[in-house]
Amino acid sequence: MSADSSVQASAERLRDAWGARRPKAAVVLGSGWAGMVQDLEAPIDVPYGELPAFPPLGIAGHAACVRLARLPRRPDGGAEVSAGADVMVLMGRQHAYETGDATAMRGAVQTVAALGCPVLVVTNAAGSLHTQWPAGSLMALSDHLNLVQRSPLQGVTGSARFVDMAQAYDPQLRARALEATARVGATLHEGVYAWMMGPQFETPAEIRMLQRLGADAVGMSTVPETIAARHAGLRVLAISLMTNMAAGLSAETLSHEQTLRAAAANEQRAAQVLCAILQSIVD
Ligand code: HPA
């Protein structure tokens, strides 16, 4: 099956499952963000295995399905229009570090666009490069450093592949996200995310390098999805949940278990913030 026809087949399978319902935004869930699905109503799940453009998933702790579901009503009693808006949640991602393939999520992102969904919200867990942003801090990406220098558009043809990456992270969506986060009494920082291939964590020397390059957070995802989304014409908002201070910035030993523990400890608040942000975006 060609890449294009697998995207069309995936979109068709989702449309069949959804009937007349359509999402107003799509979300890719990273570690620590899965709690938001519990706040959604009337879910319809389609496993990635039934969607030919979606990746097979290997990493434990990640469900592998697309969930269409309704956002809850806004608790502040405002904006009735947001009640019942559907969102499409991509529960699980394939990372480039698993296979060396930065195109892993391209088909999934293109399927979002093929469904006519205008916005992609990408979430992740990240290491913090600021001592004043401890584990549990949230950051909206204002920009990124693609230090891996790989592209999800490898193999794509046509002039559209030369994507403008200035303002890849939509300033208007970010402004809405900042307001929505403040409304629920939380803080959303803004900063630059450095993509490192992993799966090993960084060395302290690498973290000092990233600080000098102007990065505020470091992680192993999100950048390929954002590039694919911009190519597909989607507006992008991306948010990091800091699960640890980056290597050398604290005495803590980094491990995947530690990342998952910190992610779990902050899951409820992250979920609340994400729901508030989505409500403000689909209004
Ligand atoms: N480095 C890279 N990726 C990460 C980190 C980190 O410190 N924490 C969570 N994901």
Give pLDDT, residue 81: 45
* Predicted confidence (pLDDT) per residue in 254-268, tens digit: 898 888 888 888 899
Q: How confident is the model at residue 43 (pLDDT cuts 50, 70, 90)?
A: very high
Burial degree of 141 (CB within 10 A; 0-12, 13-18, 19+): buried
Distance 201 CA to ligand 1 centre (A): 6
* Ligand 1 proximity of 220 Cβ (cutoff 6 Å): yes
DSSP state of 214: T
Q: Ligand 1, closest atom to CA 219? A: 3
Highest mean pLDDT: which range of 28-37, 52-61, 68-77, 233-242: 233-242
Ligand 1 within 6 A of CB of 266: no
Q: What pLDDT score was predicted for residue 186?
A: 95
Per 3-state DSSP, the chain is made up of helix, strand and coil in percentages (nearest 5) of 35, 25, 40
**What angle, rounded to 10 degrees, do the helices at 256-265 and 267-282 form?**
60
- Say how far apart CA 104 and CA 185 lie, in whole Å: 36
- The minimum-distance atom of ligand 1 relative to the CA of 245 is 7
CATH code of the domain occupying 3-282: 3.40.50.1580
Mean pLDDT of 41-48: 93
Share of the chain above pLDDT 70, in %: 95
Active site residue 80: no
Residue nearest to atom 7 of ligand 1 (CA): 127
pTM assigned to the model:
0.94
Residue 62 has a pLDDT of 53
Mutation probe of ligand 1 site: the residue of 202, 221, 266 with most atoms within 8 A of C-beta: 202
C-alpha 168 – ligand 1 centre gap (Å): 22
Spot the catalytic one: 41, 202, 206, 267: 202
pLDDT at residue 66 is higher than 80: yes
Residue nearest atom 5 in ligand 1 by C-alpha distance:
127
- The overall longest dimension of the chain from CA atoms, in Å, is 53
The pLDDT of residue 82 is above 50:
no
Domain ranges of the chain: 3-282
The pLDDT, as a whole number, for residue 60 is 53
Question: pLDDT per residue over 208-220, tens digit each?
Answer: 999 999 999 999 9
- Structure confidence at residue 31 (pLDDT): 85
pLDDT class of 32 with cuts at 50, 70, 90:
confident
